[in-house]
Amino acid sequence: MRKKWPYACIYQISHRASGKFYVGSTSNRKTRWRNHKTHSTCIHLRRAIAKYGVDEFDFRVVDRIADAEFTIQELKEYLVETEQSYLDDLYWIGNKKNKLCYNANPIANHGNFTNHGPAIDANSKEFSVVSPDDIRFDDKNIAKFAAKHDLVADCLSRVIRGERRHHKGWHLPGVSPIIQDTERGLEFAFISPQGEVYQSRNLSLFCSKHGLSATRMNLVLREKQDFHRGWKKLKKFTGIG
């Protein structure tokens, strides 16, 4: 049974003085913030709150799905995929961990995945992946391939093993990077640098497909930033037909 989840969101907890932050997802933001205040499951965040005091931290919603309807399973998968897109953007600087990020793990949901096979042995000599532009690539070295295409080797490896649906829009042949039947979120439209209008209901997957930062495009969508990589919000948008 599908229903609305008014308190479901992707959130960020930030320490004001240092700028350090934690990214997470939840079906109930009020309960999750209360839990983080007293016994956060992230050890780095828990220690920071104990050291500085909870009043020095801000809880902010960065992506919400208040107007969408999901079953429980659809919601779990949607939140994990969306949180992962934010971690892909914020956890890494190049191939090194961002020191400002409290998250101990670069993988959303602590590495618990629905297998999106067909799984491929990441240690095998050859692998195939499809780009966000639907171009197939065959290669033999994950690390070199990831560096060449500005990807995180560990995240790409999980895609190849079937543990993740996609990484920055890159996915296995025959596996759609889109979560089926879950694009029922808030409607929006952007104008590309070439002047073309693109409409969608899923910000994280839209950004993965077009190689954009979900964090920056969220700011553009909320009119806190004018543009990102030439993409602008279409302000006079009446909805998807």
Residue 155: pLDDT band by 50, 70, 90 thresholds? confident
- Is residue 20's pLDDT more than 60? yes
Question: For 188-233, CATH number?
Answer: 1.10.10.10
DSSP-assigned beta bridge partners for residue 232: 191
Q: Are 86 and 209 in contact (CB under 8 A)?
A: no
Superfamily of structural domain 3-105: GIY-YIG endonuclease (3.40.1440.10)
Q: Is the previous residue joined to 6 through a cis bond, with omega within 30 degrees of 0? A: no
- Is residue 223's pLDDT more than 80? no
Apex CA 136: angle with CA 132 and CA 137, to 5°?
Answer: 105
Token pair belonging to 95:
């191939």
Q: Which residue has the higher pLDDT, 20 or 6?
A: 20
Least confident of 31-35, 58-62, 65-69, 109-113: 109-113
Distance from the Cα of residue 192 to its chain's centroid:
21
DSSP 8-state assignment for residue 113:
-
Looking at residue 117, its pLDDT comes to 44
On the 0-12 / 13-18 / 19+ scale of CB atoms within 10 A, 107 is: buried
Answer whether 3-105 and 188-233 agree in fold: no
Q: What is the pLDDT of residues 166-178, one digit of tens each?
A: 777 788 888 766 5
Looking at residue 114, its pLDDT comes to 46
- Is residue 156's pLDDT more than 70? yes
Looking at residue 46, its pLDDT comes to 95
Q: Are 100 and 19 in contact (CB under 8 A)?
A: yes
Looking at residue 79, its pLDDT comes to 84
Least confident of 21-25, 69-73, 97-101: 69-73
What is the spatial distance between Cα 205 and Cα 169, in angstroms, rounded to a whole number?
A: 7
Q: Are 49 and 36 in contact (CB under 8 A)?
A: yes
Q: What is the pLDDT of residues 21-48, one digit of tens each?
A: 999 999 999 999 999 999 999 999 999 9
Range among 57-61, 86-90, 122-126, 237-241 rated most confident: 57-61
Looking at residue 119, its pLDDT comes to 43
Domain boundaries, the chain: 3-105, 113-160, 188-233
Q: Are 231 and 186 in contact (CB under 8 A)?
A: no
Q: What backbone torsions phi and psi does residue 116 show, to the nearest 5 degrees?
A: -110, 35
- Is residue 116's pLDDT more than 60? no
Residue 115: pLDDT band by 50, 70, 90 thresholds? very low
